[in-house]
Amino acid sequence: MDWTTFLGHQRQRTWFANAIGNNKLASTFLMVGPTGIGKRTFSKLIAKSLLCTQSDPSELSVCNRCETCVQVERQTHPDVLYLARDPEKSVLTIDQLLGSDAARMREGFCYELRIRPYSARRKIAIIDDADTLKEDTANSLLKTLEEPPPGAVIFLLGTSEKRQLSTIRSRSQIVRFSPLSDAHVTELILRHELVGDPSAARELAERSQGSIQYAKELNDPTLLEFRNQIHAFLQQRPMDFIGFTKAIIDHLNQSTPDGQPRRDRLKWCLDEVTDVLRNSLWTQMEIPAQEGSEPASRFAPMKNLSARTLVQLIESTQEARENIQRFIAPAALLEAWAANLCRMARL
């Protein structure tokens, strides 16, 4: 990937080129906007531009041939660190940031960032899932954000600045990203070969709300129908949790082979529920979906639930999600989870 094939976000590109050219690059950036619009690829391209040995960083261009460019592309460059939520966990953890209990501060992200750059001029870090940072985890990151190693650049990727902790927000330069244009999503759909026919690609793009990730999900009709079913169950009163569990089991049995694919689909399903719950909580706390954040229409908030109950429901759903990998039979896991949900919410 280079800047010539990267689509959209021209304003942000110019902004970074100026900041680098004027030697005024901040050390921490909070990159916010909907998922699936290219924030991560953008950050990776900035990393490549800063490290490429054959081009001038202030021109924001990359040669894509030097060893550095090749390594950044393959995510093997020793000076570019990547951090994301463990797929088995619902949040970024303190262990990931500071190392395990046995090796606190002697391993983990913050330690690695402090090690002198191996080959490049600086260290660069890309942290996914900033939305999931909890207060205690975020606190362990603050010292690094306050006193970063010389030249280090840290990108935190999230969906909306209002969903970040104020401690993180106040230490970051916020860069806002908007959804992609329909034309750009159409081009990406064709490039990723989601559909082959240009007019079908355009039609899919128009419904994608500017996100290639959403376009991918929309392109699977069974998934789309199932998503609607989940949302309908969550809005129903009284909630038919036996029917809800059965609908999920039926979907899993019909849509995915046994084993890891089925476990992954079940995780997707619980993530979808978590998204609805989180959105309900944000609505409840009057944190509006700001322009450019996740489209509100995707997540109608659940009514008549207190913030406290919603937090409990989110935690219970995340716990169920973490149990998926422990090879508990999906039916048993779902029944226990759904019963819990109904009991806590008195649905």
Residues lying near Zn ion in the complex (CB under 5 A): 52, 54, 63, 66, 69
Q: Quick one: 52 or 277, whose CB is closer to Zn ion?
A: 52
Q: From CA 302, how far away is CA 57, in angstroms rounded?
A: 48
Task: Give phi and psi for 29, each to the nearest 5.
Answer: -120, 135
User: Would you say 47 or 201 has its CB closer to Zn ion?
Assistant: 47
Distant-in-sequence, close-in-space partners of 309: CB < 8 Å, separation ≥ 6? 344, 345
Strand order in the sheet with 124-127: 80-83, 124-127, 153-158, 28-32, 173-176
- As measured in angstroms, the least distance from the Cβ of 52 to Zn ion is 3
Choose between 52 and 156: whose C-beta lies nearer to Zn ion. 52
With CA atoms as reference, report the closest residue to 333 among 255, 248, 237, 211: 248
Q: Which is nearer to Zn ion, 68 or 279 (CB)?
A: 68
Q: What DSSP string describes 223-278?
A: HHHHHHHHHHHHH-SS--HHHHHHHHHHHHHHHS-TTHHHHHHHHHHHHHHHHHHH
Comparing CB distances to Zn ion, the nearer of 78 and 261 is: 78
